Structures are given as C-alpha cells and as structure tokens.
C-alpha cells in the first residue's frame, strides 16, 4: 500500500529515483554549530580526521561527506563535542525558511532532539528569546542535554504540550517552528525494517490528530505579522497539504501561505488534490523535498499570520 501511495504522490519522472533512495548508500551530513566554532575551524578539524566535507551551495554552514565517511563523521571530535551537529540537509531547510533574527522571540514546538532548535539559536546569534517545547519526558531531557552541549545557553526548554503553549503566551512570538511528529515516511530504509515496522494508514491519521492542534497552537502563539513554518518528514498528503488546507479553513482570512524563501535541488511542487479533495491553491507555495541518497523526504510550508484568530 505504501508503494501504491508513493506512486500517486511523487512525479512519475522522479519516482524511480525516489524508490532507489530507500536502499542506496546514504551520504553523511552535518552543520557547523556557529555557537561553538566557525567554518574554517571545522573544516580543518574534519580534514585532520581524514574526512572530506563538501559545503552545501545554498547553506555554507551545512556540508556532506561521502557514504564511506558517514560513520567516521559521527565519531569525529567535532561531532562529539558539539562543534558540528549531524543533520540531514532536508532538516536544515525549515529553520532557514523560518528566518529567525537576533533579538526576536522564537518558539520551537515538538523540539526534541534539538537539531533545529540549535540551528535556530545559531541564526539568532545567541540573542533574543528562544523557547523549545517537548511533551515526551525522555525526549525533553535529551533536548535539554543537546542544547547544553550545543552552547545554546540562552534557550529555555519546557516539558509541555506544544498545542497548549499559546494559552500562556498568545500573540507573543515573532516566529514559531513546528516540525511536527509524523509517520517518518521520508526516512524509511529497506535495509532497516525498524524504520517502517509500525507504518500504516491508521498511523498517518493518528499523526494528523496531533499535527492539526500543533499548527493551530503555533498560529495562536505567533503575533499578527509573524511567521510559522510547518514541516514533516512524511510523504503523506494527509499530514502535509491537507493539514495546511484544514488549518487555512479554520483560520479563514487570518493566515496566508508564503513561498518557501530557499531553493534546493531536491525540491518538488506540492499536490493540488488528493483522493478527490481539492487543496487550497495557497498550499502550492509550500514545497516537498524528495529523497535522493543525500536528502531525506520532507515537506516545508511557511505561513504568515495576517489577522486575529477566532476562538
């Protein structure tokens, strides 16, 4: 059933490449943690460890290494001490789409394990108010440890339900990141059965029941004129286009979808309809990222709150 759905989601010209990516050797990837060090220092340290990082053309702090160097990258000194953060290039796109600036108030919902939170902290240059929220207790403690290791001392972590944070800080934040819990379809690996062992259409619908309140809560927490980025690592339209479509109808004219302000080679247009349901044309501004051995599957949507929201 997953393969049938995938064929209906991915453009026909790219389907074979996407299918091959589920078993192809994966590149290693990471990001320079600007809270701890600089690009030149990281490159020197990795080259000293016999690694060959290649910077991403669209994000010089990000880099990849050949699949043969993937494990060694994870064992390297910069990875162990927090100077770099292992992170897939697709995962780097949502914080860049959010565009946080020094001195702003920023909220990261469902933040564990913290890779995007740390990237946001770096983009903020350690200045401003950054709140990271996680509802699962063991993931919350992992988030807190990672923020400490990454040098994000100005960020505060909260063990809370992200869909309810707005009740404490309505209309407060300049920007909100919602990298929502999802069915993780974009990370499936044929050689790792545990990555897809629990997948089912029912799992997708369970995730939707969590995703919609999270995105609604993010839009209530952001101020008028502020930006929310919604992302998942799923292919499922129910978790992506249809979640945004549903929230746009709930918000009426108080939320607009904006173009994703960054382009990467693995991006693909979103769907205009799914299983007979027409999707709000605004959602075409969002982007899918298709897996190719370097990039994982992702969905990224940037929204701006333009007016008051009803109760």
Mind listing the pLDDT tens digit for each residue in 129-150?
A: 999 999 999 999 999 999 999 9
Residue 221 has pLDDT above 90, yes or no: yes
Q: Three-state DSSP class for 242? A: helix
Write the pLDDT tens digit of every residue in 151-191: 999 999 999 999 999 999 999 999 999 999 999 999 999 99
Full-prediction pTM beyond 0.85? yes
Which pLDDT score is estimated for 184?
Answer: 96
> Residue 19 — very low, low, confident or very high, per pLDDT cuts 50/70/90?
very high
**Cis ω before 124 (30° cut-off from 0):** no
Tell me what the mean pLDDT of segment 232-239 comes to: 98
Which pLDDT score is estimated for 131?
Answer: 98
Tell me what the mean pLDDT of segment 93-118 comes to: 98
**b/e for 47-86, b at 16 or more Cβ within 10 A?**
eeeebebeebeebebbbbbeeebbeebeebebbeebbbbe
Instruction: State the sign of the Cα–Cα–Cα–Cα dihedral 205, 206, 211, 212.
Output: positive
Catalytic member of 121, 215, 233, 264: 233
- Per the prediction, the chain carries an average pLDDT of 97
> Residue 295 — very low, low, confident or very high, per pLDDT cuts 50/70/90?
very high
Tell me what the mean pLDDT of segment 9-21 comes to: 97
Share of the chain above pLDDT 70, in %: 100
3-state helix, strand, coil in the chain (%, to 5): 40, 25, 35
> Residue 311 — very low, low, confident or very high, per pLDDT cuts 50/70/90?
confident
Which pLDDT score is estimated for 222?
Answer: 98
Tell me what the mean pLDDT of segment 36-53 comes to: 97
Asked if 233 is an active-site residue, the reply is yes
> Residue 310 — very low, low, confident or very high, per pLDDT cuts 50/70/90?
confident
> Which bin fits 76, alpha (ψ -120 to 50), beta or left (φ > 0)?
beta
DSSP string, 118-139: HHHHHHTTT-SEEEEEE-SHHH
Task: For residue 69, give the DSSP letter.
Answer: G
Residue 265 has pLDDT above 90, yes or no: yes
Bridge pairing between strands 129-134 and 155-159: parallel
């Amino acid at each position: 059933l997953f393969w049938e759905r995938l064929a209906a989601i991915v453009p026909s010209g790219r389907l074979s490449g996407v299918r091959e990516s589920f078993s192809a050797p994966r590149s290693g990837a990471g990001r320079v943690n600007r809270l701890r060090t600089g690009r030149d220092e990281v490159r020197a340290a990795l080259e000293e460890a016999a690694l060959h990082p290649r910077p991403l053309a669209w994000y010089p702090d990000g880099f990849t290494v050949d699949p043969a160097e993937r494990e060694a990258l994870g064992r390297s000194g910069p990875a162990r001490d927090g100077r770099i953060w292992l992170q897939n290039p697709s995962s780097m796109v949502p914080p860049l789409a959010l565009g946080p600036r020094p001195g702003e108030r920023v909220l990261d919902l469902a933040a564990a394990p913290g890779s995007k939170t740390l990237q946001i902290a770096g983009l903020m240059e350690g200045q401003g108010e950054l709140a990271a929220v996680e509802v699962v207790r063991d993931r919350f403690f992992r988030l807190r440890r990672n923020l400490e290791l990454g040098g994000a001392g100005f960020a505060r972590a909260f063990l809370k339900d992200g869909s309810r944070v707005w009740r404490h800080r309505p209309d407060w934040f300049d920007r909100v990141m919602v990298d929502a819990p999802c069915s993780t379809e974009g990370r499936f690996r044929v050689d790792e059965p545990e990555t897809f062992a629990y997948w089912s259409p029912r799992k997708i619908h369970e995730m939707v029941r969590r995703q919609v309140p999270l995105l609604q809560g993010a839009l209530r927490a952001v101020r008028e004129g502020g930006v929310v980025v919604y992302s998942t690592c799923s292919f499922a339209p129910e978790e992506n286009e249809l979640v945004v479509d549903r929230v746009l109808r709930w918000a009426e004219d108080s939320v607009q979808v904006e173009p994703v302000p960054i382009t990467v080679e693995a991006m693909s247009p979103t769907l205009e309809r799914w299983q007979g349901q027409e999707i709000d044309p605004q959602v075409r501004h969002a982007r899918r990222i298709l897996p190719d051995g370097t990039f994982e599957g992702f969905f990224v949507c940037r929204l701006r709150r333009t007016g008051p929201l009803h109760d």
